[in-house]
Amino acid sequence: MHNSRRYSSYLELHDNKVCCKCNQFTKNQHMLYELGKTEGLEMHDVVPDGNCMFRAIIDQLRMQGELTLTCHSIRQMAVDYLKNNPLQDDGTHLEDFFVADDESWEEYLKRISRDGEWGDQIILRGLAEVVNREISIITTIGDFHNQTTITPQGADKDKKVKTICLGHVNDQHYYSLRPKGWHENWYRGARRKQLLERPHFYSNDGEEQSNSLEESSSEEELTLPCRPSKLIGCSSQHIDAYCHAPIFHMNFVIENVLPKNNIYTTYRYEGGRSHIISVRCQKEWEIAGSVEEGLSVNIYTSSIENNRGMGNESLNAVKASSSPNLFKQFGKQVLVFKDDRYELGSEVVIIDSENTSPGFTHLKSEKIQLPPFFTEINGTFFLSNTSFYTGMNANGTLKNIRKLRLKDPYLIFQKDACMIFYCGKCPNWPKEASEWILRKRPSGWPSTSLLEETIKVPCLLTPKYHPLSRNPDIEWMFDFSFPETFLLKDNISIEQRYCFHVFKLLIDFHTGRRKELSTFVLKTIFLYTLEVIPCQQWETCPSACMLYMTETLLSSLKERKIPHYFIPENNIISHLSGTILYQLIEKVNVVREFPIMSVILMAESHGLMTTYVTDQIIEDLNHLSDVSNIHDSVLNTFIPAYAQITVTSLAHQKFCQAVTAVTAGYRMLQDLPLCGDDVFNPYENMSLEMFIQETTAGMKMYQVWWLCFFVDLFKKKNTLKSFTRTNPFKNIVDLMDDCPPGDLDDVSVPKFILQIHSKEFEYKQVKGSGFIFAMCTFLMQEGEYGLAGHYFRGMIKMMSKVLNDSDAIMAEVLQNPTCQKSKEKNIDYLMQAFITGMSSHLFIIFTNLYRCYEHQGQTGYFQEYIEQFESVCKNMATPSALSFLAEIGRSLGTSKKIKDVLKH
């Protein structure tokens, strides 16, 4: 929340002091949380942008099925009501009680109508009337709490008025107090309300969904579970028949409420594979699965305010996703298929799929074998999977190892380690997978060459049995983890991966992360969809791709069949009961029927504050009657929304989001002629530089410069040239004395930018180091670890040169303002202080360089700097420095040497 200064721009949120950080606020926040629990209410936070009262009421209305109102619309409705109804029942004017002496009623109404203006008791009365709800407010302030209720005067006394519950902490911030079980009821209320308001939409709802599945621009035959759909190959102007929303609007909501940099995978969050699995273990184990593919995802709890998160502590915690799967062969068996020719030997194990479910097999030996590895059944010796594991969960996941005792190779997720021992690699793929090779693929993915390479990747036999197996102890599964990882790790686009991330996050959240819809199941739907959706559509219409996957999953659940991707005869949900399928269908249908609200509720429940951008979209949808209005939507809704995102993201140094928003807005303007026939486009000749200037009007010049820096870097533009026309500048190469050439050397940096960053740390003989450090920090933040690492290495070279030259140190000390002002100059003391200070800066740079290598999986390259780093740590002699030195030593395998250094 803001302090007393009011504002209407989200940019100002960064500059205002937020009152939600102090200890007293946290104490009262917890008090409200406990009070809510006793009343059967869940505390839900809202964006602290000055509209929190209105946002909390909107959230309450959404829990009751009202999805069309926004905080802006109810604010204006309440102001209009107060303007027309200023008198109470007894004839007393409201201004007599609440309005300040130095403010007239008209001035109050004008002020309270502004976006971002804090609400008060008067506007609450107006809100109760316009939403026709009784408003119950639990307030915590100091060590006390109270509860007040505002009842609408115009309510029908013969009808019970619905109640909405708010929490108010320290007169600073409002919360929505949701009823427990809200996730089971909000969509039902929304469905009832829309049925009353738009019966023509719902009278043929089943028919609309059926048409969506059956009609398609493509006449090609599709492989089940995929079906023809209008969503395949649709444009952004397509209006989905089932949820009644344009793809254009849904694209905006998905891309901006769930931006790519708010989605994390295990490797990205933890600092790369090497940070989780030691280099030694990577050599001993084979790695595959969803984590390795980058498809096991969650959300960064990232807020619009750097030190302010939404929700209580359970929402603010970053949840770690699962660990990668490690595979290792156990035994020396020679695997052969039953129908293949082979020479009988003691180590030969026959793959025989007779009397097993599709996708599963038995492994048997024609020679007498001894337990515990083999089990005799009717004179035949079968390889038992219980020798590998004690058993399985009902969904086929592995339980604990019994016979084998090995050191857990995981460095972080010790409890989540999943080590899978397989019997061996099949000599070739089973014949049940032959359909995959011959399958028709409308999208052309995988290509013929990729398909040929995939077939060479071995299929494993792992100790997993079918949940309905009659002989679970001797059944093995044909495991295609390696082919899946080969296809999905490096052979799909960023956009395709992002669409799956959104799909998985939505399904996980709205189904409660049901184990029946594991990542494996959702990945299967994704793999089939990749064969159908054209490659370009994943980039231009991500919402259509997400909806198609949801639609495919929904129809498959209804038909009780999801074919295994490589062995379609294997129905991977055949074991699910009708009750479980009904529950899953109901929840998946929520995403399909209410995709925009599904995204908003999921993002808010993870603590994201990006949902503020949806207000304008929802309002635009309310009056959007047909596709011809898209042109007006672009000018009046989307461009202002992109400008708002740009400014907000830039204010909080989220450069990638800012670049994405400003370039998307500019591209949308350039495409305006495509949005309407014979409509003049006033922005047609506007350059990107001009658009950036208009979008960022009012922002500080250095913020705009950094935006242009990243626009040029990410989009290969040349917007920085506008800063060098009138400002003196230096190229980055001029700041990197005697350093190897880098990709950013030709970037021109205005003098005022160098001066702004010189305060961080600056040395006379290492000019521009403050700017270079800031640039590298920003590059790391945006995932440009290679570029950041290069310039960190340059800084190390320049600063080490000074640190190893006593004359250079003396020159720095004598030119230091502190030294020049001091009457008693203790040169030795000042030189030592300088060495310690520069060592501290070098320690930070070395640490960041190591993190860059770590994220790139190249920690071995840091070996070149280990001796310099040891020297820096010894100069500092702090516990944190020595501890980090020891950590790096363990990672690089130089622990013994590091211990010797630390002893001395």
Same structural domain, 741 and 889: yes
pLDDT at 274: 66
Same structural domain, 382 and 527: no
Give CA–CA dist 780/653, Å, rounded.
Answer: 12
Using DSSP bridges, classify how beta strands 334-337 and 348-352 pair: parallel, antiparallel or unpaired: parallel
Same structural domain, 426 and 517: no
Same structural domain, 761 and 671: no
**Any domain includes 85:** yes
Task: Evaluate if residue 275 carries a pLDDT over 60.
Answer: yes
pLDDT at 5: 31
Give CA–CA dist 327/337, Å, rounded.
Answer: 22
Same structural domain, 599 and 543: yes
| For the chain, percent of residues with pLDDT exceeding 90 | 51
Task: Evaluate if residue 237 carries a pLDDT over 60.
Answer: yes
Task: Evaluate if residue 659 carries a pLDDT over 60.
Answer: yes
Task: Evaluate if residue 665 carries a pLDDT over 70.
Answer: yes
pLDDT at 277: 74
Instruction: pLDDT band for 257, please (50, 70, 90 cuts).
Output: very high
The string of pLDDT tens digits covering residues 753-804 is 998 888 655 666 677 888 999 999 999 999 899 999 999 999 999 888 888 8
Same structural domain, 52 and 144: yes
583: tokens are 């529950």
Same structural domain, 84 and 129: yes
What is the signed CA dihedral for 506, 510, 515, 521, rounded to 10 degrees? Answer: -40
Give CA–CA dist 117/434, Å, rounded.
Answer: 65
Fill in the DSSP letter of residue 635. I
What CATH number corresponds to the domain at position 78? Answer: 3.90.70.80
Interval 487-516 mean pLDDT:
95
pLDDT at 22: 55
Neighbours of 214 (CB within 10 A): 11
| For the chain, percent of residues with pLDDT exceeding 70 | 81
H helix and E strand count, the chain: 42, 20
Same structural domain, 618 and 598: no
Task: Evaluate if residue 272 carries a pLDDT over 80.
Answer: no
Interval 86-91 mean pLDDT:
84
Fill in the DSSP letter of residue 252. H
What CATH number corresponds to the domain at position 253? Answer: 1.10.1410.40
Strands (E), 124-162: 134-141, 144-150
Of 205 and 32, the one with more pLDDT: 32
Q: For residue 477, which of 353, 347, 621 has the smallest C-alpha distance?
A: 353
91-105, 673-687, 732-746, 793-807: segment of lowest average pLDDT: 673-687
pLDDT at 25: 67
Task: Evaluate if residue 902 carries a pLDDT over 80.
Answer: no
pLDDT at 427: 92
**Any domain includes 713:** no
**Any domain includes 202:** no
Interval 168-197 mean pLDDT:
90
pLDDT at 262: 82
Using DSSP bridges, classify how beta strands 475-479 and 360-365 pair: parallel, antiparallel or unpaired: antiparallel
From its phi and psi, is residue 498 left (phi > 0), alpha (psi between -120 and 50) or beta? alpha
Interval 873-886 mean pLDDT:
84
* Residue that terminates a domain, selected from 699, 718, 746: 699
Same structural domain, 522 and 385: no
Give CA–CA dist 647/599, Å, rounded.
Answer: 22
Dihedral sign of CA atoms 666, 669, 674, 675 in order: positive
pLDDT at 757: 87
Q: Are 679 and 633 in contact (CB under 8 A)?
A: no
Specify the number of domains making up the chain: 5
pLDDT at 403: 36
> What's the number of CA atoms in the CB half-sphere (13 Å) around residue 661?
31
220-224, 509-513, 592-596, 736-740: segment of lowest average pLDDT: 220-224
| Secondary structure (DSSP) of 274-311 | GGTB-HHHHHHSEEESHHHHT--EEE----SBTTB-SS
The string of pLDDT tens digits covering residues 696-713 is 998 999 999 999 999 999
**Any domain includes 716:** no
Of 371 and 733, the one with more pLDDT: 733
Instruction: pLDDT band for 629, please (50, 70, 90 cuts).
Output: low
Instruction: pLDDT band for 680, please (50, 70, 90 cuts).
Output: low
Give CA–CA dist 617/249, Å, rounded.
Answer: 7
Task: Evaluate if residue 630 carries a pLDDT over 50.
Answer: yes
506: tokens are 């939505």
Task: Evaluate if residue 365 carries a pLDDT over 90.
Answer: no
**Any domain includes 567:** yes
Q: For residue 650, which of 614, 690, 602, 698 has the smallest C-alpha distance?
A: 698
869: tokens are 């780093």
Same structural domain, 606 and 527: yes
Instruction: pLDDT band for 201, please (50, 70, 90 cuts).
Output: low
pLDDT at 627: 47
* Residue that terminates a domain, selected from 442, 457, 484: 484
Task: Evaluate if residue 493 carries a pLDDT over 50.
Answer: yes
Strand partners, 461: 424, 478
pLDDT at 443: 96
Helix (H) or strand (E) holding 835: helix 827-855
**Any domain includes 281:** no
The string of pLDDT tens digits covering residues 116-127 is 999 999 999 999
Q: pTM here? A: 0.84
**Containing domain of residue 530, as a range?**
207-260+288-311+495-610
Give CA–CA dist 628/248, Å, rounded.
Answer: 12
User: What is the residue-averaged pLDDT of the chain?
Assistant: 83
pLDDT at 345: 64
pLDDT at 204: 53
The string of pLDDT tens digits covering residues 164-176 is 999 999 888 999 9
Task: Evaluate if residue 59 carries a pLDDT over 70.
Answer: yes
Of 15 and 489, the one with more pLDDT: 489
Interval 73-91 mean pLDDT:
92
Task: Evaluate if residue 218 carries a pLDDT over 80.
Answer: no
Neighbours of 687 (CB within 10 A): 12
pLDDT at 898: 58
pLDDT at 202: 55
Same structural domain, 733 and 689: no
Select, from the ranges 524-533, 632-641, 642-651, the one with the highest average predicted confidence (pLDDT): 524-533
**Any domain includes 510:** yes
**Any domain includes 874:** yes
Interval 537-550 mean pLDDT:
97
Task: Evaluate if residue 308 carries a pLDDT over 50.
Answer: no
Same structural domain, 35 and 148: yes
pLDDT at 373: 83
| DSSP SS3 for 163 | strand
Q: Which own/partner pairs from 94-99 qualify as long-range (CB within 8 Å, at least 24 positions apart)? A: 94/122, 94/125, 98/122
* Residue that terminates a domain, selected from 580, 610, 640: 610
